[in-house]
Structure 1
Amino acid sequence: MGVFSALLDSTAVILLLVYVGMALIATEFFVKARGIAGLLGLVSMVLYFTAAVEHLSLWMVGLFVVGLTMMIVDGKFVQDGTMAAIGVLLMLVGLVMPTNDFLLGTGVACALILGLLSSLLSFRFLPKRDIWEKLTLRDRFTSEAGYSSINVTYQSLVGQKGRTLTDMRPSGTIEVGGKTYSAVTNGTWLKKGSKVKVESVNGTRIMVVEVKEG
């Protein structure tokens, strides 16, 4: 127990716990890791809070838990990255505040950011979550799979009007002519149910603009 306590008192170990914890939690968010990475990351964060218990308050843990919950909800249901980004900020505050020291707090913040960046390496080894398809609208079609015919169909949408089925942030889902499509705006965020017109099509990337009433 004495050795364990001594390890948790080490600044290097504290920073390592934050780095590893964030890297594993973010990996769970970015790719399909079957919950293993997320669980191990959570254990690492629990050890960190154990080390910081001297200056720890319940609201700090609460911020971290709320932030983590927002990441999970975004990754599983919303899948647009907005809630996850806010969640990371809340987790950052919840992790930095217990340090009660500027230098250590800065180190914890850097460890969290480095862990987040390191998790991007998981893209090379594990399948990505659907969120990346929605955010980037990557074109998966090839000529052999009928890309040409789909492109012609999409080109025919130019000038047609429809409505948004989801919030556009700036990507989302629209309905035109009774069919649904993934689309993006020129950077403008639109609410669900907004009237839109297809302004241009590039491959299978549909650009829409809001139709002002009146």
Structure 2
Amino acid sequence: MNEEIGPSAWRLTKKALTKAKEQQVAAIIIRMNTFGGMVDYADSIRSAVLNAQLKTIVFVDHNAASAGALIALAADKIYMSKGASIGAASVVNPQGEIMPEKYQSYMRGLMRATAEAKGRDPKIAEAFVDPDVEIPGLVAKGKVLTLTTAEAVRVGLSAGEKNDVAGVLAAEGLSGAELTEHQVTFIDRLISFLVSPAVSGVLILLIIGGIYFEMQSPGIGFALLVAVVAALLFFAPLYLEGLAAHWEIGLFVIGIILLLLEVFVIPGFGVAGIGGIVCIIAGLVLSLVTNDWFDFTVTASEQISSALLLVMGSMILAIAGCVVLGKSLLGTSAFQRLVLQDEQRSQLGYVSGRQKEVLVGKNGIAKTDMRPSGKIEIDGKWYDAVALDGYIERGSSVTVEKQENYNVFVRRQNT
């Protein structure tokens, strides 16, 4: 465990514990060097280590700070290398600023309960979080406790100082044991990469941008493919990490459907469109944070705010980029390869196989909403038409103003 405590570390721990249980091992050793991470994932790892039905050992190889200290306390034994440290578990925000008391209170409770579960001094565990806890000869009031290897051994928190895993095995009477190291696979690394905030932001940008371009040019299909692939890359890793649940993904899909209905079926922009946008944002945000049907007990409000800012920022950038760069993108050589550019002009000898009847001046009925294109009916026949007014409601009376080859242009009749 030599990384920030987060989704990747949680997934690694789950897989390692499952594998250890299947192989019926004598003990599992977590070699730790971390400066901490997210409280909710640290709590999940802590619970898994506490409930593991086998001997658990943490070997602190340099650092077990903050969330790392919480996990270490959940193990049956703690060993530390020379020059290592453990502690400093106050809850801070991404900028390193101390969080309000309610977060510190929650963390103190976790630390105290974990220490008690393993027969360790809960006051020491609490001093890792609370600067108001004073322990004579160890930490003065106003300071958060961090223990060196020697100090941890002296107060009984650590079982001893060891130079490496072999020394830990020897101390536990397992010198002749077969040691299996849990390997981080390419898939594990790929998932860790995809769930990083930066990559998640880019994927959200591609999802929104793809949907926008598909609505602007629905006949191309390439933009929709980009949006679908980006959505799969966004939700699949989060689902595997246990973050995105079925209902959160379903909420996102419902939002897309509502938005499409608003654009192509329901006239104007109202409840369906607003509801669709809300569902899309909610599905994306909720997939990024730990919750159980909106129960955010172990999720700090800052994490929810960060997820919301990530989603909203990515969506705003996507829409702004589409509006500003849309025309430029359509004119690039790379994009032109995706669409047909050849024109069959009458001046070059291209003519249609049959001449369409003259419709100019005739009256008809709009059979669909025209936005501006749609269907009209004239003398019992249906035609594709374009509204010169921009938008004509279904059932309105229309008049054909002009006809260019197979394109029919109409206006709403004045009442």
| Cα-to-partner distance string for 1:38-65 (whole Å, 9 max, x where unaligned) | 55223212146449965x6765433201
Q: Report what 1:197 is aligned to.
A: 399
Q: Secondary structure at the match of 2:308?
A: helix
Matched, 1:17 2:206: no
Secondary structure, aligned partner of 1:206:
strand
Aligned residue number for residue 40 of structure 1:
229
Which of 274, 285, 290 in structure 2 is aligned with 1:96? 285
The 1:101/1:176 distance shift into structure 2, 3 A limit, reads same
Partner of 1:124: 336
Higher share in helix: 1
Q: 1:80 to 1:206 in 2, by over 3 A?
A: farther
Contact 1:163 1:195 in 2 (8 A): yes
Secondary structure in structure 1 of the residue aligned to 2:285: helix
Whole-angstrom distance in 2 between the partners of 1:187 and 1:175: 18
Amino acid at match of 2:364: G
Residues 372 and 388 of structure 2 are in contact (CA less than 8 Å); yes or no, is this contact kept in structure 1?
A: yes
Query: 3-state SS of the aligned residue for 1:46?
Result: helix
1:65 alignment partner, one of 229, 253, 268? 253
Q: CA RMSD in A?
A: 4.8
| Structure 1 residue 172: Cα displacement | 1.2
C-alpha distance in 1, partners of 2:337/2:249? Answer: 32
Gaps spanning 5+ residues in structure 2: where?
1-7, 10-187, 289-302
Distance 1:64 1:207 in 2: 38
Is the 1:18–1:45 Cα contact (8 Å) retained in structure 2?
A: yes
CA offset digits 1:48-101 (Å, max 9, x no partner): 6449965x67654332011334578899xx699989x94972423422355553
SS of 1:101 mapped into structure 2? helix
TM-score (norm 1): 0.59
Cα distance in 1 for residues equivalent to 2:233 and 2:196: 15
Partner of 1:164: 366
CA contact (8 A) 1:53 1:98 kept: no
* Deviates further, 90-99 or 30-39: 30-39
Give the number of equivalent residue pairs: 191
Q: 1:176 to 1:8 in 2, by over 3 A?
A: closer
Q: Is the 8 A contact 1:170 1:190 kept in 2?
A: no
CA pair 142-81 structure 1, distance change in 2 beyond 3 A? farther
Q: What secondary structure is seen at the aligned counterpart in 2 of 1:175?
A: strand
Greater RCO (CA < 8 Å, at least 6 residues apart): 1
Gaps of 5+ in 1: 129-139
SS of 1:186's equivalent in the other structure is coil
Shift of 1:176: 2.5
What is the correspondence of 1:178-197 to structure 2 with a 5 Å cutoff?
A: 178=381, 180-191=383-394, 193-197=395-399
When residues 171 and 195 of structure 1 are mapped into structure 2, their CA distance, relative to the original with a 3 A threshold, is same
2:409 is matched by which residue type in structure 1? I
Q: Name the CA shift for 1:57/1:109 in 2 (closer, same or farther; >3 Å).
A: same
2:396–2:412 Cα contact (<8 Å) kept: no
Q: Percent identity?
A: 21
Q: 1:209 & 1:25 partners in 2: Cα distance?
A: 31
Report the Cα distance in structure 2 between the residues aligned to 1:34 and 1:187, rounded to whole angstroms. 25
- Cα distance between partner residues in 1 of 2:350 and 2:268: 33
> 2:310 maps to which residue?
107
Kindly indicate whether the alpha-carbon contact (under 8 Å) linking 2:284 and 2:311 is maintained by their aligned counterparts in 1. yes
